[in-house]
Amino acid sequence: LFLARPAANKPTILRFRGLLQHGEITSWMEILVPYISGWNFVEFQERELATGGTSIQKQLIGLNLRALLNHSYIEWRKLLKNHRIQKRKNKIEKRKNFLVKRIKFAKYLIQAKINPEWMVLCLLPVLPPELRPIFVLGEQVVVESDFNKLYQKVILRNKNLQNSFEIQGGPFYSTGDFLTLQKRLLQEAVDALLDSGKSGQLRKDHFRNRPYKSFSDVIAGKEGRFRANLLGKRVDYSARSVIVV
């Protein structure tokens, strides 16, 4: 949890506190308390506070790649001057390697005209039905892809999050805690869909007694979709490396 910088030209009220004089603190509290309570908390949370992927996205929005490059070059020159100091040699080498990676990555983003905030997914891709089929075996036996179960969990938790926005301010609403919990549950469902090992809690199919396969499980390895299905035919190029996600 952190106090967000102004994102998308939206000023944050918490940033204005440092501009107030000591005698104005009382008026500040009178403004802030009703602003973060009751019906206004959602607006306050979306504008002033950020958690999870939203916090990372807001930090990336305010990232100036060219300024980052210039700062990295300046730090690199300073490290070159201190390179002969034996006691800090290993630490300086690690920092130099980090700066090289940062400079290369920033240059690539600038050349490719990629905004850093694009690295945070805002829209979840949905596979076509052909890649997540459903088979009906007999009258009461239905076999379906693991993706359908994982998508179902994402849809249900997203619906719960939408409902929590509608009931906010009601008798069962706890200021911020309930919304934060619903967002966390939704994030866990998305993590299970994209990479089941990220959250640390594998969702299991109790009927078949095995974990559900996520996107990364289907793609990665020699038995993944790329190696087994797409590259498992005669081609005029070599692709011997293992797919790693």
Q: What is the pLDDT of residues 111-166, one digit of tens each?
A: 999 999 888 888 888 888 888 888 888 777 778 888 899 999 999 999 988 887 77
pLDDT of residue 156: 94
Q: 167 vs 91, which has greater pLDDT?
A: 91
HSE-CB at 37 with a 13 A cutoff on CA atoms is 6
Q: The whole model's pTM is what? A: 0.64
Question: Could you state, in order of their start, the residue ranges of all structural domains in the chain?
Answer: 2-61, 65-119, 129-213
More confident residue, 22 or 228: 228
Residue 18 vs residue 157, higher pLDDT:
157
pLDDT for residue 172: 47
Checking if the pLDDT of 12 tops 60, the result is no
Nearest in space to 189 (alpha carbons), one of 181, 208, 58:
181
User: What is the structure's pLDDT at 2?
Assistant: 41
Residue 204, pLDDT above cutoff 70: no
Using CA atoms, how far residue 124 sits from 57, 186, 239, in Å, is: 15, 12, 29
Smallest CA-to-CA distance from 37 within 175, 144, 136 is with: 175
Q: For the chain, how are helix, strand and coil distributed in percent, rounded to 5?
A: 60, 5, 35
CA dist 215 and 121 (Å) reads: 15
- Which candidate, 44, 39, 47, places its Cα nearest to that of 165? 39
Q: Is the pLDDT of residue 50 over 90?
A: no
Compute the residue count for the chain: 245
Give the percent of the chain with pLDDT over 70.
58
pLDDT beyond 90 at 108? yes
